Structure 1
């Protein structure tokens, strides 16, 4: 398995025969020219997780790609051929199972702001992208793409989430809103406070990494 992080929440997961891109959003860079994509998974409709203009470019380069998203993202993607999914659904792409997990709700930012739906995606029973929520999956996970910062979370919650999931590898994502010094601090604390047996791996931008 190979992972490539294009910044913030956007990650390319490459299995032996399947290429899956998650959350190509406005804070991410370098994914626009990807080809041979089989599946694009969108956790929710916020722009840092789906950039509609660049998504259209991806579709033009990958005309056979399948796009999966939450029901709340449907209007945003009007005119595109897509598939909606909600927690509890199980999808397949070229024989790879995609489990849709979580409570279905974006973590709250403030009671006065509108809520959003949210999907977590478990790819091949191995890689979990939770979107903007910290819902423990209740099953073993090999690689956790763990949010490192955002207006809806504090780092202590992220540490507790990593401890609850206890993956073999944790990869920090959702960090574009943090200053470089704070990114380093959050990564250090995630590494220091991770449970025994969990390795923190920081992916270099747009560089494939085998796990």
Structure 2
């Protein structure tokens, strides 16, 4: 018993470190607090009304066995830095609900497939699937890194707050037509997603109240803050992500 207690005491700091070493924000909603944990790359964790929601868990960023188990997991597309089966299995339980794209869903049993434009309520949370694709950046001539119709961004509604997690995308017409977005996570991982200029163009069009750049790679975030300076109604928040 003493040996087991000793092992447990060794593990507790490691488990605490997984949470405490990452930046978090708490957003007030009309139906309780939304806690956002900024993990890295395209990976986020939301906690709301006792539920844990993982977005694109990616094992190169952290040991997900140290994270809370998921009630809900959302996968934006099939690329290995967004669909990581090992990380997925570390946070998934038999009761976890998975919301995925059609391409991702082909290899995952028990999943909920959402196509571009779909809206569903899962575990009491309204989820809308927004097209995520490239307009400019190409893998080769005429072949985008992210083709239209394959990937999803997601708008999740928490109480009176609408949170948009864009996935891997550029400043598409569908993004720019979004309305009443309180929080937006927009990617700047070149050459796969957006430049600071593209993010600025989109943010000035749909005016999220809070803009978090994420999945930023080596992008100079000061360019975005300079371009967004003076834009009324949009607060740019920079958070440390691996």
Map 1:9-158 to 2 at 5 A: 9-25=42-58, 28-59=61-92, 62-75=93-106, 77-78=107-108, 80-102=109-131, 105-107=132-134, 109-110=137-138, 111-112=142-143, 115-116=146-147, 117-124=150-157, 126-133=162-169, 134=171, 135-152=175-192, 153-158=194-199
CA distance in 1, matches of 2:51, 2:60: 25
The answer to which structure has the higher strand fraction is 2
Q: With structure 1 as the length reference, what TM-score do the two structures score? A: 0.81
Q: Which runs of 5+ in 1 are unaligned?
A: 207-211
Pick closer, same or farther for the CA change 1:45–1:137 going to 2, 3 Å. farther
Pick closer, same or farther for the CA change 1:14–1:136 going to 2, 3 Å. farther
Higher relative contact order (CA 8 A, sep 6+): 1
CA distance in 2, matches of 1:27, 1:159: 29
Asked if 2 retains the 8 angstrom alpha-carbon contact of 1:150 and 1:174, the reply is no
Q: With structure 2 as the length reference, what TM-score do the two structures score? A: 0.71
Q: Which runs of 5+ in 2 are unaligned?
A: 1-33
Pick closer, same or farther for the CA change 1:30–1:156 going to 2, 3 Å. farther
Match of 2:37 in 1: 4
Match of 1:191 in 2: 225
CA distance in 2, matches of 1:28, 1:137: 32
The answer to whether 1:168 aligns with 2:209 is: yes
Query: Which protein is bigger by CA-based radius of gyration?
Result: 2
CA distance in 1, matches of 2:185, 2:61: 15
Q: Which moved more, 1:41-50 or 1:85-94?
A: 85-94
* Aligned-residue offset at 1:197: 2.2
* Aligned-residue offset at 1:145: 0.5
CA distance in 2, matches of 1:37, 1:115: 27
